[in-house]
Every structure is written in C-alpha cells, then in structure tokens.
Structure 1
Amino acid sequence: MDAVTFLIQCLNSVQYGLLLFLVASGLTLIFGIMGVINLAHGSFYMIGAYMAYALAPLVERWIGGGFFVVVGVGIALSVALGYLLEWLFFSYLYEREHLQQVLMTYALILVFEELRSILLGDEVHGVPVPGWLAGSLPLSDLMTYPVYRLFVSVVCLAVAAGMWAVITRTRLGMRIRAGATNREMVQAMGVPIKLLYRIVFAVGVALAALAGMIAAPISSVYPGMGGQVLIICFVVVVIGGIGSIRGAFIAALLVGFVDTFGKVLFPAIAGMLVYLLMAAMLLWKPEGLFKAGS
C-alpha cells in the first residue's frame, strides 16, 4: 500500500467513523439517560436519508434554496418527530422491562418500514451531490478524493464540537450529564425530568436523521438501510461506554479504521473484525472506554 492509498483509506475511515458517531451519540444518550433500548434508532437514520431524497423537490418548489435548506427542514422535522414519539410512546417505557422496550421499538421499525414502502416505494434511490461539492481534490497524478466526503467529515466534526460545548459548558449539558449518572437525584432536585427526556430524545433523533441526510449522496437510499447501521452503532455504544459522548466519538473512529482497513488488508475476515474488537473490549473493560456522562 503506497502513501496516497494509505491517506485515502485514512480519510475514508475518519469520514465513516464520524458518521457512525452522529448516529451512535444519539443512541448512547437515549440509552444512557432514559434507560430505553431503542431498536428503532436505525430507522431515524433511514428517515433522514429518505427525507434528503423526498424533500429536495418539495423544498425547491415551495421554499427555494438548495442542499442546506433541505437539511435544515429535515432537522426541524426530525426534532418534531422525536418530541412527538417520546410523548406518545417512549414516555410509557421508562419503568417497563427491557423486553417490553425491545418489542415496542421493534414494532416501530415495522411501522416505519411499511410507511416508507407505501409512500416512497421499495426502489433504490440516488441523491445527487450538491453541484458546488461535486468536485475532487487531486492527491497524486492518478488519485483524487471527493470534496463531498471531506465536507461530510467537516460537518460531523462541527456537530461533535457543538455537542461537546453543550454537554460540558451549559446548564442543559450539566443536567444531561447528571441524568446519565443518577436520574433519581436529578428528579429529586426539581429538574423537569420529562422535559429533559423529550429534549434528549428529540436531539438523538435529529442526530441520526442528520447522519442519514448527509450520507445519502454517498451510500444511496434503499430499504432496510437503518437495520445495518443500528447493529454497528450498538457496537460503538458498547465499546465507548453507555451514556458517554466522548466514548462514542473515540469508539466510532476505532470502528471506522478497523472496518475500512480490514476490508483492504484482510477481506476474508473483514466482517468479523469489528465484532472481535467489541469482544476484546468486553473482556478487557466491560463498562466501555468511559463512564456515563463523560
């Protein structure tokens, strides 16, 4: 492997890992703070990707504007969806057994998939890259790298920095960290825990949907895409530590590098490497890299 190919694979690893972080950060917040095993979280990623496909012509017709307007409208809709779902369904799950949580969130997967099939069909759809991001950067005489992939990495890093600032520097972040550590104490101190849960859930849905929207031009939009990303995101949450944003960030990058370079260097066992990494983490440090709220 020459230096240019190594650089390209490193960039691919970072971009993939950062996308995983967007999805996994919402999942670890919901699981760590609310205590809900949300199997439907991958469906929010799928919903974001399908919004990127379906909203573009509607936004162009009724509002005007390009890619950023579509993403903005999609984020607003996903926040509203998350708030509504928490109010209608998830607010009844906090004191229930994990089996009931799994059954209800799996039922939501079936509902979302059926609605997707009815409204948008079962075909694979492509989402065009915005024209001003459609070029490539030359890395050598023969090798180039798409500008849009670099743009995705920059967006993910900006969101990660914003999350870090909110979690560590604001009153809301203090409450989120406290809720991840000791929910009963937070409630006893008079914090409106129901409102906090709804905010956390809505943000988690929006993060997953944002990841789906910006990934759509790279991976296309197709049925069942949420199930694939859900499994790998649970791996990220287990490695990073349940409820830890910092752990999700580091674990997502680790998974990105192991998965990308595994496919290049060890293609015969590439599908196993990420799960071997998770197994090694469970043997070495079962609680994950970091504790909840860190």
Structure 2
Amino acid sequence: MFALLIEQVLNGLQLGVMLFMIAAGLTLVFGVMGVLNLAHGALYMVGAFAAAFIAAETGSVVLGILVAMPVAALAGLLIERLVIARLYARDHLDQVLATFGIVLFANEMMRILFGPRPLFLNVPDFAAGTLEILPGVPYPVWRLVIILVGLVVAGGLALLIERSRLGMLIRAGAQNRRMVAALGVDIGRLYAVLFALGGLLAGLAGAVAGPVLAVQVGMGEPVLILAFVVIVIGGIGSVRGAFTGALVVGLADTLGRAYLPELARAVLPPAAADQIGAALASMTIYLLMALVLAIRPKGVFGGSD
C-alpha cells in the first residue's frame, strides 16, 4: 500500500510539472495580452510530433526533444504574427473562434503529414528501466527525468520573471499592459516573445510526454482543459500560481483516480463502486476549482506576480 502511494504521488508530480510547462505560457499570454488562446494545446501536439519525427529519422530521442522546442516556439510565433496580432482589439469570442480554427487546421495538418495512426517514442537509453527510489519501490527513470526537467524549467522561469528586464515587463504587463505601452515599450515585440516562449514550453512538454503517451492527432485538447483549470486555480497571469495549481491538479487527478474507486467499494457493490468512483475521480479537479473560486475568485496567486 505504501509503495502504491509513493508511486501515485510521483505520477501526480510528473503530471503536475508537465501541466506547469503548458500552463506557464498560457497564463502569461492570457494575463499579459488578454488573449484567450485555444491553440496553445496545438503547440503541445506540434512539439510531440516534431520530437517523434526527428527521433525516427536520427534514432536520438534527445535530439528530437531539442529540435521540438524551437519548432514549437516558431509555430507559436507564426500564430501570433499571422492571426493573433489581428485580434488584440477584438473581444474574447473572436479570439476563441480564430484559435479554435487554428486547432482544427493543426490537427488536419498533422494528420496529412504523419497519418492518422499514433506515433511512439522510445525512452532514451540512459533513462530506460526503473530506479528503486525506496526499498521495494521501483519507479521508471524517464518519469523521474520529466519531474527533474519540470523543476528546472520552473526554476529558470522564476529567475527570468523575477531577475530580468523581460520578466519585469511581463510582470508589469500582467498588472497594466496599457501603462507598459504608454512607457514606450514595444508591445508587439513583447507579445511575440511571450507567444514564442509559451510555444517553446508547450513543445517541451509534448516532447518529453512522447515516450509516456502516444503521439497522436488531437492530443492537445484534453491537456489544454487541464491547463485552463490550473491557471484558474493558480491565478491568471501568475507563474507561481501556475506552478502551485499544476502540482495540486496533478496530485488531485492522479490520487483521485487511484483511490476514489477503492473508497467507494467500502460502501457500494464493486460494479457500482467502480462506476461511481471513476465518475467522482474525473470530477475532482473541477470541484477543487469551484472551491478555490468560491474562496478566492482571482485564484490563489491572482495578480501577485
């Protein structure tokens, strides 16, 4: 039982850091630019497909991941320049419709380029197998690598936001983007950098997820929903909130799916318990989001970065 708990906690942390890499760019774009970007999940998918393609051509998963980041960043920059830049003065409905159109386009483009069947990435040789983190508790090395990568990204992004001029502009833009523009800052360039940074992080998340999940068309939509839950819980525009919210959502979702059906069996017949427990598990993060919004409508760290 203890070994299972440790394994599920690590699974939750792994999901959490992946969600953070996706949600960080999403919360910055929404917080600073006020753009509701449904196409962010497509950048996660682009990163995964780029990594899978390069790995298949070269035999190197690491090279695939390294290539996936600039590819997704370039895709994000192109989306911002060609589509989003024309929508800054428009309302959120126009942004939703336009970015949803990008999602459909990206899905069909990946289907044309790579076919309808899922692609699979092998785990790199150095991260193959398991590591006994505690006596009797083996855990896949690649999942530990994902956790480590996520923590390094979180630390690097925190330094960028807190210690650099770009970070100062991002924080100021999240508070009052009109004032930043009035001070003479090139808002167009700042927006382009934010979209490219968000695309890079989303592409990295998709690339490292490739050896764990199947790389397939439409893989960005489910994770985008979770990323929106993360930024609502953490607070729109807050990187610290995105990190906290991602870990909370990752742990709540993983532990709920692992243990709620078991708890339901204590009071219900097995068949009904499995059905009701699975339904409750899928609702856990949304109930958590509702609770946070009831207590703090702007999220846990809303407006604090």
Contact 2:25/2:199 (<8 A) preserved: yes
State the Cα deviation string for residues 81-112 of structure 1 (Å, max 9, x = none).
22222111111111101110010000001100
From 70, 86, 91, give the equivalent of 1:97: 91
Aligned residue type for 2:70:
A
Aligned residue type for 1:124:
P
Contact 1:177/1:292 (<8 A) preserved: no
**CA positional deviation for 1:291:** 2.4
Aligned to 2:230: 236
Distance 1:140 1:171, change over 3 A: closer
Aligned residue pairs, count? 288
Contact 2:51/2:67 (<8 A) preserved: no
**CA positional deviation for 1:257:** 0.9
Matched, 1:121 2:115: yes
Other structure's SS at 2:211 match: helix
**CA positional deviation for 1:142:** 5.4
Matched, 1:158 2:169: no
Aligned residue type for 1:149:
R
Matched, 1:226 2:237: no
**More displaced, 160-169 or 48-57?**
48-57
Matched-pair identity in %? 46
Unaligned runs of 5+ in 1: 61-65
**CA positional deviation for 1:20:** 0.4
Aligned to 2:269: none
Aligned to 1:171: 165
- Matching of residues 23-34 of structure 1 within 5 Å: 23-34=22-33
**CA positional deviation for 1:143:** 4.2
Aligned to 1:84: 78
**CA positional deviation for 1:52:** 1.4
From 193, 198, 204, give the equivalent of 1:204: 198
Contact 2:18/2:205 (<8 A) preserved: yes
State the Cα deviation string for residues 162-206 of structure 1 (Å, max 9, x = none).
000000001110011001110011011111111000000110011
Other structure's SS at 1:94 match: coil
Matched, 1:70 2:81: no
Aligned to 1:36: 35
**CA positional deviation for 1:122:** 1.0
Matched, 1:275 2:274: no
- Matching of residues 177-192 of structure 1 within 5 Å: 177-192=171-186
Contact 1:32/1:242 (<8 A) preserved: yes
Aligned residue type for 1:289:
V
Aligned to 2:239: 245
**More displaced, 245-254 or 122-131?**
122-131
Contact 2:47/2:206 (<8 A) preserved: yes
Aligned residue type for 1:275:
Y
**CA positional deviation for 1:292:** 3.1
Aligned to 2:10: 11
Alpha-carbon separation, structure 2, partners of 1:196 and 1:188: 14
From 255, 272, 296, give the equivalent of 1:285: 296
Contact 1:129/1:148 (<8 A) preserved: yes
- Coordinate RMSD, CA, aligned: 1.3
Aligned to 1:133: 127
Alpha-carbon separation, structure 2, partners of 1:162 and 1:222: 29
Other structure's SS at 1:15 match: helix
Alpha-carbon separation, structure 2, partners of 1:82 and 1:292: 25
- Per the normalisation by structure 2, the TM-score is 0.91
Aligned residue type for 1:30:
V
Structure 1 moving runs of 4+ over 4 Å:
139-143
Other structure's SS at 2:244 match: helix
Alpha-carbon separation, structure 1, partners of 2:33 and 2:171: 12
Other structure's SS at 2:236 match: coil
Contact 1:245/1:293 (<8 A) preserved: no
Other structure's SS at 1:218 match: coil
Greater relative contact order (Cα < 8 A, sep 6+): 1
**CA positional deviation for 1:138:** 2.3
